[in-house]
Amino acid sequence: MNEQPQSDVSYRDSVGVVTLRGEVDIVQAHDLRERLVKAIRNEDLGLVVDLTDATYIDSVGVSLLFELAERLAERQLRLAVVLPEVGLVSRVLRIVNLKSVAEVHGTVNDAVAAIHD
């Protein structure tokens, strides 16, 4: 539970890929929100949020993803989230039904490919 939140942004074939590590929660939400919003480029097809190495997400972190999905939808952009099969983060995102606003994939490659489809 000591991980500092870390995020990287890269771009693959007109898709932004944001990797979030550590805790995505009420304490970090403000900073993360800014980084996520800045990662969206108008010329892109969509955004992938990679939560493979995220260890914790609370309702504020969840809301951040829902807000992101909404903003992307307004621009006709797609959101895909990469999740491991088990673990707290996956459990949480199942409970809140993230699938209703974003595609969920197991790897970044699958997520990027899905946005291109």
First to last CA, the chain: 37
Closest CB 45 distance from another protein, rounded Å: 27
Q: Which is nearer to another protein, 30 or 116 (CB)?
A: 30
Residues that bind another protein (CB under 8 A): 1-2, 4, 23, 25-27, 56, 58-60, 62-63, 66, 86-88, 91-92, 95-96
For residue 54, the surrounding DSSP H or E stretch is: strand 54-57
Closest CB 92 distance from another protein, rounded Å: 6
Q: Which residues contact 40 (CB under 8 A, 6 or more apart)?
A: 16, 47, 71, 72, 75, 77
Secondary-structure breakdown of the chain: helix, strand, coil percentages, each rounded to the nearest 5 = 40, 30, 30
Q: Which is nearer to another protein, 2 or 42 (CB)?
A: 2
Closest CB 69 distance from another protein, rounded Å: 13
